[in-house]
Amino acid sequence: MARSIFPKVACMAIMMMMMCMIMDLISLTQAGPSCGNVQDALSPCIRYVTGIDNNVPGACCNGIKKVKSQSKTTQDRRSVCKCIKTTAHSIKKLNIHKLAGLPAKCGVNLPYKLSPSIDCNRIN
């Protein structure tokens, strides 16, 4: 009886592994970074845009560059914009001028201005 169960269990285990591999491939092909990834990448910028630090940290610039490099399509850029906009509204003591100037300070050219009032649907 134990012999007849083993092949079935082994087959189920192989099928589960294949399903996991397929799910991993699907997640790799999804567009752009998630809002959580954008927030993680840009979190080193918080101290600068709130006036705690006077200089833009290198990790902040690296985060901006990373997010830009992952935003290849219009939909990606709009999603990133919406994430930044929503997050900006939740930051207490946000200096909107420092936020808007971040890309230039980091030598990054974004196709939109970082602002809590941006219309993300106008981004191409």
> For the segment 14-39, what is each residue's pLDDT rounded down to a tens digit?
444 444 444 444 444 455 789 999 99
> For the segment 86-116, what is each residue's pLDDT rounded down to a tens digit?
999 999 999 999 999 999 999 999 888 899 9
Assign 11 a pLDDT band (cuts: 50, 70, 90): very low
Count how many Cα atoms sit within 13 Å of the Cα of residue 24 in the half-sphere of its side chain: 6
> Could you give the CA distance from residue 103 to residue 62 in angstroms, rounded to a whole number?
11
Which position has the higher pLDDT, 77 or 26?
Answer: 77
Measured from the Cβ of residue 121, the count of other Cβ atoms closer than 10 Å reads: 8
Buried b (16+ CB within 10 A) or exposed e, 45-70: bbebbeeeeeebeeebbebbebbbeb
**Domains in the chain: boundaries:** 1-30, 33-122
Q: What's 33-122's CATH class?
A: mainly alpha
